[in-house]
A = this chain, B = another copy of it.
């Protein structure tokens, strides 16, 4: 499985993904789930993926290969909307190719979910969730974040602390806590994490961070959050249910 989060805040964009891929518990591997397409000063587009690894790798290979061909590609589409549309079309193309005949598919789920966000000069930053069917929705001020993969364990903390006006620093802190909760409760999500922050209108070169188990900040957060939760829990009132 996988866990990815992306947020579109007033201050900018956040992308985070784990790196564990598994087909059963005895076939676990590490794959990067974050892909960056950029022309500094003009556009930055980031993709996060979850789902069938053959499908997501093929989609990314085709998107990269087509950067050098005529026709629309991620470095020439004029808007993020068209980037999401192109991604959706490519996803459908791969799934139709691989699942197409049906006779060999034997119940395999060829589907994949993508988060695609970024900024192209002339537009504000935008963020989309592309579904396995190739259609997509866009993040808004009311719903400023999307998750794909094992999203449930880490959702409550985001729901409690994040809104459109959160800072990128707060959003990162919250995202790392959300990953910590997920990793503790679900073996199929694992370190290292890939993290990318983008400041609105900067159009600066991407500086992705890799956060592993030795990362001192991540470890301070994990410890502080775990201790803080237990402290809050211990101080909450008790009730005598047998009275």
Q: Which residues of A contact B (CB under 8 A)?
A: 150, 152-157, 159-161, 168-170, 172-174, 177, 181-182, 184-186, 195, 197, 199, 207, 209, 217, 220-221, 224-226, 228-233, 235-242
Contacts and interface: CB of A to CB of B under 8 A. Distances in A.
Given A159-B184, A197-B241, A225 B217 contact: no
Contacts of A237: 217, 220-221, 224
A197 B236 contact: no
A153 B174 CA distance: 16
Give the number of copies in the complex: 2
Contacts of A159: 184-185
A155 B237 CA distance: 21
Query: Quick one: which of A220, A230, A239 has the most chain B CB within 10 A?
Result: A239
Contact of A233 (B161, B186, B195, B217): B161
A42 to B, nearest CB: 20
A238 B177 contact: no
Given A173-B238, A225-B236, 11 more contacts: A152-B153, A156-B184, A159-B185, A160-B184, A161-B233, A169-B239, A174-B233, A224-B235, A228-B232, A228-B233, A229-B229
